Homo-oligomer: A and B are copies of this chain.
Amino acid sequence: MLFHTARKKWLTQASVDKKLHTHLGVIDISQIIGMEYGSEIKTTGGDKIYLVEPTIYDFIMKSKRKTQIVYPKDFGFIAARVGLKNGCRILEVGTGSGALTTFAASIVKPDGHIHTFDINAEFMKIAKENLEKAGMYPYVSMHEYDASEGFPVEDMDVAIVDLGDPWTVIDQIHHCLKGSGSFVAICPTVNQIERTATELKQKGYLDIECTELMIRTMEAREGMTRPAMRMIGHTTYLVFARKCLG
């Protein structure tokens, strides 16, 4: 990845004779072959650019998307709240652009696996590209989802639902989760959390918790430190619960 500022960065593959044309001038990509990460490069315009090793965060933030992606603050909290770790088996309903899939795969690999389902073939194609670029495709099985058939997986540690109507798949997911496995729903609206939490309660789920994370950037400057004036007001609520037997 070539980094100029937090807003100007380019994810590209190095190859001989490649040139990247930017508003800062042309960057000669061939020259970076063999360079160490963290090195400084000059554009033809004289601006400084840095060669930075792309992280999973970079891959996600630079991924192709046709849908709203789940944000780092949210998928980070999902990972922390359900205790994602190497070896976990995850059922994801609603692949979208694959941002959450990519992040989850990077954590559960090499021993875990993700089964992700989506109804929209176009989304799945984009998600597949994004997963491949981030090197996470080997840890993911993609399924075209047909609601009437349920999900042909079982003994999952975690199920993550990113649909408009998450309550409609609770029954189908129930059979796929192992005892005390975690259910997570990504719900932008309060009506979704109300209905999902109500349904989970009726089905006897444990430890039902609905939360929202707000993130605020701080502008840290000597003698003038203050929160940023702009802030994202809302991305999504999250609903957590654990499956109970009998």
Contacts and interface: CB of A to CB of B under 8 A. Distances in A.
Interface of A: 3, 6, 36-40, 50-53, 55-59, 72-73, 75-86, 103, 106-107, 109-111, 178-182, 188-191, 193-194, 196-198, 206-235, 237, 239, 242-246
Contacts of A76: 73, 76-81
A6 B226 contact: no
Contacts of A215: 77, 211-214
B239 A180 contact: no
Contacts of A39: 179, 245-246
Of the listed residues A86, A110, A197, A198, the one surrounded by the most CB atoms of chain B closer than 10 A to its CB is A86
A206 B110 CA distance: 30
A245 to B, nearest CB: 4
A120 B40 CA distance: 39
A11 to B, nearest CB: 13
Contacts of A225: 189-191, 193-194
8 contacts: A37-B245, A38-B243, A52-B180, A55-B82, A73-B77, A189-B225, A194-B222, A198-B222
B78 A106 contact: no
A206 B86 contact: no
Q: Which 6 A-B pairs have the closest CB atoms?
A: A38-B179, A55-B83, A231-B233, A76-B80, A76-B76, A56-B83
